[in-house]
Structure 1
Amino acid sequence: MENKRILVIGGSGYIGKPIVKRLNKQGYKVTVLSRNPKKIINGIKYIQGNVMNKDFLLKNVKDFDVIIYLAAIIRTLKKSKYKENIIGLKNTIETMYTNKIKKIIYFSTQSIYIKKTGPYGNSKKACEKLILNSYLNYVVIRPNYVYGIDKYNDFYRLYSIIKKTKICPIIGSGKTRFQPINKNDIVEITLKYIKKWKPKEIVDVSGKTTISMNEVTEIIKKQTNIWFIKIHIPLSILQLFKWIIPFDVDGYTDDRTSINKNTLKGYANIKEDINNIIKIN
């Protein structure tokens, strides 16, 4: 089996866990590196460590065919923490050079298309430059918004707020379109690249349907029959407080539909999935 020995950096996270499960089921020899590893599958080797520690990486990251890099700080009040996204990846790339590991699947974001981004988006743009300027045999995957049929996504969080307060907060007009992709589709796309490697590939991965937050709220209303007030929060107000908001405010209301011709689309139906998400107790 080609690409049999796989290290998943950030394999305990939201996208990492299902990828690890799928690879293990397919017979790959999977190792997970994480700051806070949780042993979720028997037979998987877990390494507790931090990509900020280059000496640790040099000692432990060796004898792998492929590295899947998912580690990232996405939301934090401490904006300087986003620099760790760049430093951690740089340490990993240098470790791969030293330990002769050639292949990496790097998870980026479609936010890199937004002209003006905040600290998180800026860090991901810098990370892509590191990958593209490296001598590695890379695949860059740029997901749209990723969700699962669970409570750990923005659809369920919005539904929970509506249910408890009868208020629906929407940033901006709510008309911004995006293409959410089910994380199970992400898993299958990742597996596809491992099985049939395409060197120097950059691919967007998106759901098959575009949707807006206004449409999301209509689905919630129709499914639950909950009466609520929709409150639109002007982006200009958030801009005044963006340094104490734990996500990128800049570019938040920009269009999020994929513009890359090299786009793979998932199979999940977002409207059906939202209906299933809000049925979760």
Structure 2
Amino acid sequence: MKTAERANRSKILITGCSGYVGRQLAALLSAKGYDVTGTCRSDFDLDGIDVRRGVLTNSEFVTDILSDRDIVIHAAALTRSKDPAELRESNESVTSLLLDGVASSSVKRVIFLSTDQAVNGVGPYGESKQNCETIVREKAKDYAILRLTPVIGEFAPTQNSTFSKVISKILNGSIFVMPGDGDFPIAPIGIKDIANAIDLLIMKEDHLDKTYGLCGEPSTFLSFVNQVEETVGLRRWKVPLPIGPIKKAAGLLKRLPGSGKLPLDSILNIGQPIPVDTQDLGRDTGFKPTPLSEIIGSMPGLPVPSRLSVSWRRTTPNGRQNRIDGWTN
């Protein structure tokens, strides 16, 4: 069956479609020809997407949204909470109830968006995702688990997007404070690559029941910062902050009540090897990640200058002339 024909007949449900990842996936998969329905907890509109408002702990709501779907992409998750136990309970109960609904529905395959933090159970979020993976393996009749590294999608610094926040700091200050010398590994995954991987997995005729790593090409944090600067036409003074004291402070803060809203586990994990790769996914589907430079260069919303450079001279109060280089938009 041709890809277009398969896409046009597949009906997808995406949970958490108001989140940073879910919202963009809904739009990208709809553009590929899928019939997409999304869920969210509050009022939310998305062009071309049937968005249903409700909570996934309501069994009647779950039954209704699954009634005519072929594929479920479970993206809804609580990432941080002042109460770690609440975070774990929320994510695990939602996943369990959703899978109970899937068992008595027409859904053929579940694609669960997990995290690379689930590999070693990093922090409450990683632990909860690890437990959710177990629930999926036990209850789903055909599934694929995708362990994602941090995602680069549209530039949205006010949302739950680590790399958008980093880019915002580069754009809005002449000084950029950087953890250590920045020479530690990262492998962010582009949102379009996630959509492409999901598309490939939906097209697979074989029974799956597999767990895949999904990451971008290996790079370093410093390389990411340099590529962002090159893309937006800016250069910042990079001030290295020793990683040791940063981690020590994060460890102390983690002991305080209510610290779960802070990204302390990610800070404590700086410098650790990337725990996933795409070898299995590439072998099974032919997936290849997009180079980081292309992901940054095509990032929606990123204020990128045109290629038309301009220069002029400005006379200072003491009579000196300074050349100023810039760009036109």
Give the TM-score, by structure 2 length: 0.74
Q: Is the 8 A contact 2:28 2:192 kept in 1?
A: no
**Judging changes above 3 Å, is the alpha-carbon distance between structure 1 residues 173 and 229 closer, same or farther for their aligned structure 2 residues?**
closer
Q: How does 1:177-188 map to 2 (within 5 A)?
A: 177-188=185-196
Q: Which structure has more RCO (C-alpha within 8 Å, separation ≥ 6)?
A: 1
**Unmatched tracts of structure 1, length 5 or more:** none
Identity %: 21
Q: Which residue of 2 aligns with 1:205?
A: 214
CA distance in 2, matches of 1:7, 1:21: 12
Partner of 1:57: 62
1:106 counterpart (112, 117, 126): 112
> Secondary structure of the residue that 1:262 maps to in structure 2?
helix
1:257: Cα distance to partner? Answer: 5.0
One of 73, 91, 101 as aligned partner of 2:97? 91
Q: 1:23 aligns with which of 20, 25, 29?
A: 29
Structure 1 position 11 matched with structure 2 position 17: yes
Show structure 1 runs of 4+ deviating over 4 A: 220-223, 275-278
Corresponding residue of 1:238:
250
Q: Distance in 1 between matches of 2:264 and 2:127?
A: 10
Name the Cα RMSD after superposition: 2.8
Residue 263 of structure 1, CA deviation: 3.8
The residue type paired with residue 175 of structure 1 is: D
The answer to whether residue 202 in structure 2 is matched with residue 194 in structure 1 is yes
Stretch moving more, 30-39 or 121-130 = 30-39
When structure 1 is superposed on structure 2, of 68-77 and 242-251 the one drifting more is: 242-251
Shift in CA distance, 266/14, structure 1 to aligned 2, threshold 3 Å: farther
SS in 1 for 2:147: strand
Candidates 247, 253, 258, aligned match of 2:263: 247
Partner of 2:124: 119
The whole-number CA distance in structure 1 between the counterparts of 2:24 and 2:291 is 19
Contact 2:118 2:129 (C-alpha < 8 Å) held by counterparts: yes
Point out the more displaced range, 26-35 or 254-263.
Answer: 254-263
Q: Gaps spanning 5+ residues in structure 2: where?
A: 306-329
Q: Which amino acid letter does the alignment assign opposite residue 11 of structure 2?
A: R
Matched, 1:224 2:240: no
**Counterpart of 1:82 in structure 2: which amino acid?**
L
2:75 corresponds to: 70
Number of aligned pairs?
278
Q: CA deviation at 1:119?
A: 0.3
The range that moved more, 224-233 or 60-69, is 224-233
Is this contact kept in 1: 2:180–2:240, CA < 8 A?
Answer: no
Residue 136 (structure 1) aligned with residue 141 (structure 2) = yes
Shifted more, 143-152 versus 64-73: the winner is 143-152
Residue 64 of structure 1: SS of its match in structure 2? coil
CA displacement, residues 108-149 of structure 1 (integer Å, 9 cap, x when unaligned)? 1122223x5110000000000111122421111122221024
Q: Secondary structure at the match of 1:56?
A: helix
| Distance (whole Å) between structure 1 residues aligned to residue 253 and residue 119 of structure 2 | 24
Residue 200 of structure 1, CA deviation: 1.0
